[in-house]
Amino acid sequence: MAIVVVIAVVVAMPLAERAVSELGLPLRYSDVIRRQAQEKRLDPALVAAVIYAETKFDPRTSSAGAVGLMQILPATADFLARRSGATTFQTADLAKPRVNIAYGSYYLRYLLDEYHGSLVLALAAYNGGEANVDRWEAAARAHGERMRIAQIPFPETRDYVARVLAERRDYRRTYPSQLGL
């Protein structure tokens, strides 16, 4: 009888650990995240962390009109569609996880390129807007500094950047095989 209990515990332990991980740090659409991250030369844990920070993997429309898992504004999506050469994009497509993750990943890559690989600036722009980040970065440069998280004037954006970076680390630790790390 004791051996049966030990075997049951050994078999159930990975399932229990996964359930606890899912409650604290969910991961959905890992195949789409991996594919988009690879296509856009992104860390899949970063994409997952942005989704988690934006919606905790519960797609919705925000009060500002941002749509889907990665909370993309229709105007941003239109810009990205034109930039990427998409010809059949419709705003309603953002409600589809596959499309939303593709556009959100494209936007992350665009921002990383715009800010010369600076993850802090790219994430700040994803949350607080490029125009704001451009102003903040110019002010930091005027003082001979590189902009750091602590210098982001918007508390929400400052917290967002710190949270995404921490969640990226947690996703890398918690889901290495699912994210293809």
* Residue with tokens 């962390």, as numbered in its chain: 49
Instruction: Give, in degrees to the nearest 5, the angle at Cα 135 between 71 and 162.
Output: 50
* Residue-wise pLDDT tens digits, 131-178: 999 999 999 999 999 899 999 999 999 999 999 999 999 999 999 999
Tokens at 15, concatenated: 């399932």
Single out the catalytic residue among 17, 54, 137, 145. Answer: 54
CA separation for the pair 181, 176 (Å, rounded):
5
Structure letter (DSSP) for residue 64 = T
pLDDT digits (tens, 9 = 90+) for 106-118: 999 999 999 999 9
- In the structure encoding, which two tokens stand for residue 114, read together? 């715009």
Residue 119: Cβ within 10 Å count: 17
**CATH class of this structure's domain 29-174:** mainly alpha
Whether 145 is catalytic is no
Measured CA to CA, the distance from residue 61 to residue 71 in angstroms comes to 7
The residue that leads in pLDDT, 21 or 7, is 7
Give 50's DSSP letter: H
Lowest average pLDDT, out of 18-22, 34-38, 47-51, goes to 18-22
Domain spans in the chain, listed from the N-terminal domain onward: 29-174
pLDDT digits (tens, 9 = 90+) for 64-106: 999 999 999 999 999 999 998 887 888 899 999 999 999 999 9
